[in-house]
Amino acid sequence: MGKRMDVLTNQLEQDKLDWVALNPGPSLRYLTGLNFHLMERPVVVLVSSSGQVKLIMPELERAKAASLPFEAEVFLFSDDPAGWQALFARAMADISPRPLRVGVEPTRLRFLELSLLREALPNAEFVDGSAALAGMRMRKSADELRAMRHAALIAQNALINTLTTVKPGQTERQISAELIVQLYREGSEAELPFAPIVSTGPNTANPHASPTDRTLREGEILLIDWGAGFSGYFSDITRTFFCGEANEEMRQIASLVEKANEAARFGGGPGMPAGEVDRLAREVIADGGYGDFFTHRTGHGLGMEAHEQPYIYQANPLTLEPGMVFTIEPGIYLPGKYGVRIEDNVVVEDGGLRSLTDLPRQVMRLETFLEKARKG
């Protein structure tokens, strides 16, 4: 953890940032090992380019500060909000007169913490500092990759267990509930990357459908998008199935999505722009005549968050480097009819992309999938 802090301070200096301010979330946990949940009380960690660390948190969380792997000034406040601003002012007293550039994560820092910081640092400029943090978190270590592979195995085993119970007449909510139970039985941490997406029939044409009371019927498509958590890292997988016999169009779009997934998995590699991976998948679907129905990017980064950098969209010039992990999840969605998506988690290695997920990718009947998955 101390090494990560050293990398951050070097990055802050390169980015001409005097400090970075973090509230509860993956980046704070990544740097400090401290796990706070967002609540009505503010929690802020500030790190300077010189390595100074300030931790502002509630008195009730005092015990967590004892486990810090580096030195920090700790400022504790009571539950009376009337005293919070004064505590922030005291914590910032040694730096408040100076003009500072303070980096924040725009998608994380709340108005509550930002307001307290602005009042305590009247001469500071608050800017987007997410690049400094994302650059560190994008390149996974061997330990991080092991955790992600384990999260994938938990998710895969949970799906296999769930599918043994699936039959026509069940609702999407029922299937989702069983999957959540199985995720925990297989060893997932309490925090899942997201609530599982279980969709049937025409609902599969909505990429981010929420489970409903609609029942699965013979001759329909079933789509499941789910993941598990392990040691603070996530998996994110999608598989699609035929319930009974599929019609010709279902088989056609399934085949195209399978080929698009394969083209990106086998065609991507280090030194390539992230956008090229998107192009490899998108080209297959466009050449098959369904380009207008592939309505989202090909993938997104994965790690301590279900969605983080790098993002795999066609205009992204970011160069892929070993250790980066992202999803490959092409899809075709025909409104009012059905949709197909196949999603894998891959890591960039010197020789190409290695998949952390290995369940069968072919869209097939549920019973056939189960037979193949059990054989490994």
Residue 260, SS3 per DSSP = helix
Q: In what order do the strands lie in the sheet with 237-243?
A: 197-200, 220-226, 237-243, 364-365
Mean pLDDT of the chain: 96
Q: Which of 310, 291, 288, 292 is CA-nearest to residue 300?
A: 310
Q: So what's the pLDDT on residue 376? A: 75
pTM for this model (two decimals): 0.94
pLDDT for 1: 54
Tens digits of residue pLDDT in 128-138 = 999 889 889 99
Encode pLDDT of 305-328 as tens digits: 999 999 999 999 999 999 999 999
What is the amino acid identity at position 64?
Answer: K
Residues 176-227: tens digit of each pLDDT: 999 999 999 999 999 999 999 999 999 999 999 999 999 999 999 999 999 9
For tokens 């192009």, the residue is: 279
Burial of 269 (0-12, 13-18, 19+ CB in 10 A): middle
User: Percent of the chain at pLDDT above 90?
Assistant: 92
Beta carbons of 114 and 88 less than 8 angstroms apart:
no
* pLDDT score for 66: 86
CATH architecture designation of domain 2-137? 3-Layer(aba) Sandwich (3.40)
Cα R_g (the chain), whole angstroms:
23
Check if the beta carbon of residue 297 is closer than 8 Å to that of residue 278: yes
Q: Say if CB 163 and CB 366 are below 8 A apart.
A: yes
Is 356 in contact with 325 (CB distance < 8 Å)? yes
Q: CATH classification of 139-375, choosing from 3.30.1280.10, 3.90.230.10, 3.40.30.10, 3.30.420.40?
A: 3.90.230.10
Q: Domain locations in the chain?
A: 2-137, 139-375
Q: Confidence class of residue 115 from pLDDT cuts 50, 70 and 90?
A: very high
Residue 303 contacts by C-beta under 8 Å, 6 or more apart in sequence? 26, 137, 138, 140, 144, 148, 233, 234, 325
* pLDDT of res. 319: 98
pLDDT tens-digit map of 141-186: 999 999 999 999 999 999 999 999 999 999 999 999 999 999 999 9
Using one digit for the tens of pLDDT, what is the confidence trace for 245-300? 999 999 999 999 999 999 999 999 999 999 999 999 999 999 999 999 999 999 99
| Token pair belonging to 79 | 């539950």
Q: In what side-by-side order are the strands of the sheet with 100-104?
A: 73-77, 53-58, 44-48, 19-22, 100-104, 124-128
In which band, very low, low, confident or very high, does the pLDDT at 332 lie, cut at 50, 70 and 90? very high
